[in-house]
Amino acid sequence: MKLNERSVAHYATCDSPADHTGFLCKRVERHHHTTSYQRRWFVLKGNLLFYFEERESRDPLGLIVLEGCTVELCEAAEEFAFAIRFDGAGAKAYVLVADCQTAMEAWVKALSRASFDYMRLVVKELEKQLEEARKNLVVSHKFPKKSSSGRKRHLSNPTMVPVPEHPVIMENGYATWGDSYSLVGGVSFDHDGGYIKPPPLPPRRRLAGSNVSGVLTAGLASTVQESPVSPETACFSKLHDWYGQEIADVRREWLESQKRVEM
């Protein structure tokens, strides 16, 4: 492969982001089969591995094109050593040594993913996943899943009345239904769907206009009647109207007293 040295040197030192950088010791074969190591600053950009004499150097000492090669651990006297080997008889192998186990694993991982062969495999796998996702989308449009109504039914409820998610809370000034009860159609059920008795009636309140003996005023006494609420007729509307009569009478008397004061 013929490369333009100026263009390659500019690419090695330009501001484009590097995929991996760090110091490695590069093995050098010398005469008489002696071996030595040189500490160099390596920069990986795409499938090009540059190495410099120092970290601040602007001119790379060499370049390794990571195509048609394998990156593997190798046996060496030095610890944390790995090799870049190329296919073909007589091809040169580059033996590099990292400073620690973590750095060695990071370099092997980065160099193994740097070649275009690896990227080609990744693209094929992504295309396969995309095609499967498209097929699943077409199938889901042809056979949409039936959506549930979202209403819960209790098997122990013989009338199969849908129970709301949040029970109705009655706040009439006297009593409040707890969270463990639900009021449906005028009949109260617990969370298991069983019938329960309504809460006990609160004591009647005396008005300010009542006498010492506890006898209600004549106007209010005429409206006093038996409570319509019983285990057989648990109806909130009747209970509301029954207590509302007392409130209406109290309000009427208060308005009359205000008129008398103004006069």
Token pair, residue 260, equals 């008398």
Give me the mean pLDDT over the 110-132 stretch: 90
What are the CB-based long-range contacts (under 8 Å, 24+) for 54-63?
55/23, 58/9, 58/13, 59/9, 59/13, 60/8, 60/9, 60/12, 60/13, 63/3, 63/8, 63/12
Q: Does pLDDT of 172 surpass 70? A: no
User: At 173, is the pLDDT very low, low, confident or very high (cuts 50, 70, 90)?
Assistant: very low
pLDDT in tens, 231-244: 545 566 676 677 77
User: At 245, is the pLDDT very low, low, confident or very high (cuts 50, 70, 90)?
Assistant: confident
Residue with the bigger pLDDT between 13 and 247: it is 13
pLDDT in tens, 186-202: 445 555 555 555 555 55
User: At 223, is the pLDDT very low, low, confident or very high (cuts 50, 70, 90)?
Assistant: very low
- Pairing verdict, β 181-184 and 187-190: antiparallel
Q: Which pLDDT score, from 0 to 100, does residue 9 have?
A: 85
Q: Does pLDDT of 206 surpass 90? A: no
84-88, 94-98, 130-134, 226-230, range with the lowest pLDDT: 226-230
In the chain, beta strands by DSSP E: 20-29, 35-45, 48-52, 62-65, 69-73, 81-86, 94-97, 181-184, 187-190
Q: Does pLDDT of 31 surpass 50? A: yes
pLDDT in tens, 100-116: 999 999 999 999 999 88
